[in-house]
Structure 1
């Protein structure tokens, strides 16, 4: 702050020094003016000027030091108090800008809330004809056309489901309900949803569940597993997907292993990034890069750890590590 103050007042300091040198120079060339007296006056002026600069430094930098320490927030109650006229100008500008930002922020929040509500309403409205479409597809007699339509119906269903949960995730803390979740029935239900897609690709499931219950939020756990199974089916072909649960150090572990194309080692650190798909199969336009990103965000709120290990061209293993029972007070905020 001292350097900044001296740079800010450089012109004033330079003017003072110039005037003192001018007085000495005039006394030096004009014999009628006693040089010793001028030097004495210059000396006293320097002493007074130094004290003046110190006092002004403390007074003038107080406001600006407060600005530096002020948190980057819209809370004006903690804003620095202005004293000088120039400081009042700055304070007025900050106040006006902050009030404008508050108004704009409020309008943006209202607009986003309205957009979110409209989208959620639209998704729920679309589910009605989608359900009717499913019933109509079930009545078809041509198995080939039925399988194709069922697959496309499933794609729409999964896209709508992902969009719905994406909009709900920012408010997931308000939606959590901890209970005993039956993993077996939950996994079986998700597999049945993907059944037509799996039959089309010749994919089966090998389940080995040593632990069948965990304490968590069933709805969000189902969404996470849905994303993992969807990815496993999407990138597999004519192979089985292994699903197993076991207990390790007091934690319940859910492991989903597929034997598809695998993940490039350079892509592994980025697979949970929003919008990231793949560098190995970048032409895959069906991928949105949102599944694992959303699953990771949900898992974080549920204190579930997601870990991915993969060998390119061979297999991919995704593990969910559920928290211990005594860790749930962190979720509930107790």
Structure 2
């Protein structure tokens, strides 16, 4: 309706012109024959208005078709949509439409080439991330077998570097996983206590190096989720607790249950997050203004946590005050 009124408004000046012509003709008719004027003036005006609305209806219908043809061509530039648009356009418009079409075809070809290059690059990075897992596994095996022959400080540093590489590779793989159109999630009952104990065991050298005090409370039962993704979420949260820890670091993991949801609460006493940064911590690439350590981060870890949590239907809530620690709650249905 608004569309029709918009076009009708553009034709109103023509109605005024027709009515002015009617008025001029009526004056001439009145001067020549008053009785004839009285008999025909109303009919003359009604015929003019009726003719105007009939012509307006036909023109509006054509404009609607042209508008639809424009939208079809812009959304999908190709020869048949271009020909349909040219068929509905006036001669003065056709040259501009042809120039626009040439530009769109050119940009479409450039975008296609860039998308092809991007797809090749993403495929290469994903394959590299998978290939690097084999030498990392061999490195892990070598360090485990030779750890007693290496100086303690050297063994710790090598384990730390290995852990960082593994974390970065995992981020790459999960980044492609959340961006994929098809998810390969495998939902199953996951023992929460076993999952958290395994995670703490993996991080044990780093936790001991920083003298973390660990407190576990009421961790029991199972949740129905994808194990790989859930473990990645927890590992990113724990990695952040390590990265932004205080001088006397503490980590608390507790669990609460209601009728429908299981909530896992993870708290630390690290540097926390400033109030102005808190609403943005799950945004891609956001690092915030929370000290030199945070400036060195990539802003990808918590972004992937949020993306995976949304895909797994896990609700995330966070609480934090600057220099007062950080708390994150994972609510699983």
Same fold (TM over 0.5): yes
Match of 1:229 among 215, 235, 238: 238
Instruction: Describe how 1:30-49 pairs up with structure 2 within 5 A.
Output: 34=32, 36=34, 43-49=42-48
Structure 1 residue ranges without an equivalent (≥5): 324-334
Deviations 1:40-60 (Å, cap 9, x if unpaired)? 766544322211222233333
Secondary structure of 1:147's partner?
helix
1:160 aligns with 2:169: yes
1:169 aligns with 2:167: no
**Structure (1 or 2) with the greater helix fraction:** 2
Task: Check the 8 A contact 1:211/1:247 in 2, yes or no.
Answer: no
1:292 corresponds in structure 2 to 302
The 1:176/1:75 distance shift into structure 2, 3 A limit, reads: farther
Task: Check the 8 A contact 1:184/1:209 in 2, yes or no.
Answer: no
Q: TM-score, normalization: structure 2?
A: 0.76
Q: 312-321 vs 49-58, which deviates more?
A: 49-58
Aligned alpha-carbon RMSD (Å):
4.1
2:81 corresponds in structure 1 to none
1:310 corresponds in structure 2 to 320
1:206 corresponds in structure 2 to 215
2:199 corresponds in structure 1 to 190
Structure 2 residue ranges without an equivalent (≥5): 79-83
Question: Alpha-carbon deviation of 1:63?
Answer: 5.3
Task: Check the 8 A contact 1:257/1:316 in 2, yes or no.
Answer: yes
The 1:42/1:133 distance shift into structure 2, 3 A limit, reads: farther
Instruction: Describe how 1:1-334 pairs up with structure 2 within 5 A.
Output: 1-10=3-12, 12-23=14-25, 27=28, 34=32, 36=34, 43-62=42-61, 64=63, 85-86=88-89, 111-135=117-141, 139=146, 141-171=150-180, 174-237=183-246, 238-281=248-291, 284-323=294-333
Q: Distance in 2 between matches of 1:210 and 1:290?
A: 28
Task: Check the 8 A contact 1:220/1:298 in 2, yes or no.
Answer: yes
Secondary structure of 1:249's partner?
coil
Q: TM-score, normalization: structure 1?
A: 0.76
